[in-house]
């Protein structure tokens, strides 16, 4: 198998930023436990706090609102499972297009789960949410509303301002899965209506194995892992100072490397060329606001499994959806919720750009996809 030369799967995981690599290696040279009071421990503690400052700045949060976790999945479970328990909530409201981590956490919370539908463009039904909140107010129950800021498969952005207007003034709680939005869209956690927000390191060029849950009072009493007094008592377990330092370094460096306008330009070039190559192409979420670095599309009749294999043989890495579930048999639950037919959903490919993506990468993908598409057309013609 040839070495993959072109990586276009940043929504799954982004390559390590050089600044993050340097911070990680420097942190690994230090010995000790960051909770120890001696000099070695204090040096590790200082690394963690510097990382906290950088992550807080990128998220528009106050530093004490940042709780480091082992992953965004852990942060999501702390918010939902821990939130239901600690806040004695009566129900969880999610959308049909949420990441599997959110859907599973809602299931594990033990509270009744209500699922909001998506429209054909992948937007959450705010009308259905309003009805749920009104019904809860009538019965005196309190809900946790858990919604993605940006869908990991389609890149569709939810209307967080409208969500905040619905949930913010009420006694209900709002949790935002901001994994795909962090660093790519402006965030002001300290001043927005979200009560909790999950973010991840490896989506912005930090190593895998570190994430964070942003928490405001009274949600700062929410716990999941119990034990020592780490993270101000909000997440037990000895922190990896090296991973957190690398997360902080990535947070500080990512905006300059990512260059959002450049990403949008590359994506526009990619989509325009795809339309020229395949006029019958379907771009999922095209009618909604999207984050600007990802396109999920299908050419009818070209199965994603076939296309991905052909592209991989050409040294091009893309995906067919969430990396957390792409190994499972079955259509995307996101596309299903958008009303996409199973036949078309089986053709869905996701190309996601990131800080290391270049115009050369896009050109190489288009060339490779042209080869795969041409092969498919010849097979159809021969049949």
Distance of CA 277 to the CA centre of its chain: 30
Q: How far is CA 207 from the centre of its chain?
A: 15
Q: Alpha-carbon distance 54 to 383, whole Å?
A: 58
The reported pLDDT for the residue numbered 324 is 55
Element (H, E) at 103: helix 100-108
| Residue carrying the six token digits 């053709």 | 347
**CATH, range 18-256:** 3.40.640.10
- Asked whether 354 and 10 are in contact (CB, 8 A), the reply is yes
324 an active-site residue?
A: yes
- Residues 6 or more apart whose Cβ sits within 8 Å of residue 91: 111, 112, 113, 114, 136, 141, 143, 144
Beta bridge partners of 347: none
Backbone angles phi, psi at 116, to 5 degrees: -90, 140
pTM: 0.94
How does residue 383 score in pLDDT terms, banded at 50, 70 and 90? low
Q: Can you name the CATH fold of 6-14+259-382?
A: 3.90.1150
CA dist., res. 183 & res. 130, Å (int)? 29
Q: Which two tokens stand for residue 151?
A: 């869908």
Digit-coded pLDDT (tens) for 119-146: 999 999 999 999 999 999 999 999 999 9
User: In 91-168, which ranges are E strands?
Assistant: 91-95, 113-116, 143-148
Q: Give the pLDDT confidence of 30-39 residue by residue, as tens digits.
A: 999 998 899 9
What digits encode the pLDDT tens for the residues 215-274? 999 998 899 998 878 998 899 899 999 999 999 999 999 999 999 999 999 999 999 999
Angle between helices 359-382 and 260-277 (to 10 degrees): 20
8 Å CB contact between 124 and 116: yes
Rounded CA separation 295/309 (Å): 19
Q: 292 and 67 in contact (C-beta within 8 Å)?
A: no
**Model pLDDT for residues 157-196, shown as the tens digit of each residue:** 999 999 999 999 999 999 999 999 999 999 999 999 999 9
pLDDT tier, 1 (very low <50, low <70, confident <90, very high otherwise): very low
The single residue of 157, 219, 324, 347 carrying the catalytic annotation is 324
In the chain, where the domains are located: 6-14+259-382, 18-256
> For residue range 317-347, what is the model confidence (pLDDT) as tens digits?
999 865 554 455 468 999 999 999 999 999 9
Distance CA 269, CA 327 (A): 30
Q: In sequence order, what are the beta bridge partners of 368?
A: none
pLDDT for position 2: 45
The rounded Cα 93 to chain-centroid distance in angstroms is: 19
User: Distance between CA 89 and CA 94 in Å, rounded?
Assistant: 14
What's the rounded Cα separation, in Å, for the pair 201 and 199? 7
% the chain with pLDDT above 90: 89
Classify each residue of 163-174 as buried b or exposed e, where b means 16 or more C-beta atoms within 10 Å of its C-beta: beebbeebebbb
């Amino acid at each position: 198998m040839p070495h993959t030369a072109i990586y276009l799967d940043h929504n799954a995981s982004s390559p390590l930023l050089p600044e993050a690599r340097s911070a990680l290696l420097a942190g690994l040279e230090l010995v000790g436990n960051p909770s120890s009071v001696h000099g070695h421990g204090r040096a590790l503690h200082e690394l963690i706090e510097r990382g906290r400052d950088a992550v807080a700045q990128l998220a528009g949060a106050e530093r004490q609102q940042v709780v480091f976790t082992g992953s965004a999945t852990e942060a999501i479970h702390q918010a939902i499972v821990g939130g239901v328990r600690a806040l004695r909530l009566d129900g969880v409201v999610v959308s049909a297009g949420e990441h599997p981590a959110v859907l599973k956490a809602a299931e594990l919370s033990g509270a009744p789960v209500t699922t909001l539908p998506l429209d054909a463009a992948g937007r959450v039904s705010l009308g259905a949410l309003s009805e749920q909140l009104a019904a809860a107010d009538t019965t005196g129950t309190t809900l946790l509303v858990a919604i993605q800021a940006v869908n990991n498969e389609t890149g569709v952005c939810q209307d967080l301002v409208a969500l905040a207007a619905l949930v913010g003034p009420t006694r209900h709680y709002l949790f935002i899965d901001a994994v795909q939005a962090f660093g790519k869209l402006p965030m002001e956690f300290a001043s927005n209506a979200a009560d909790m927000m999950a973010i991840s390191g490896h989506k912005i060029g930090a190593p895998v194995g570190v994430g964070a849950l942003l928490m405001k009072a009274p949600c700062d009493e929410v716990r999941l892992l119990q034990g020592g007094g780490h993270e101000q008592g909000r997440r037990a377990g000895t922190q990896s100072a090296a991973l957190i330092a690398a997360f902080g370094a990535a947070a500080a460096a990512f905006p300059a490397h990512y260059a959002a306008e450049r990403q949008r330009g590359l994506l526009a070039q990619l989509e325009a060329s795809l339309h020229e190559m395949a006029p019958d192409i379907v771009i999922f979420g095209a009618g909604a606001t999207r984050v600007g670095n990802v396109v999920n599309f299908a050419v009818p009749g070209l199965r994603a499994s076939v296309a991905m294999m052909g592209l991989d043989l050409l040294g091009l890495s893309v995906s067919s959806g969430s990396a957390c579930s792409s190994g499972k048999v079955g259509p995307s639950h996101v596309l299903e919720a958008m009303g996409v037919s199973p036949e078309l959903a089986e053709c869905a490919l996701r190309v996601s750009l990131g800080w290391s993506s270049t115009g050369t990468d896009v050109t190489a993908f288009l060339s490779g996809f042209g080869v795969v598409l041409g092969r498919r057309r010849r097979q159809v013609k021969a049949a």
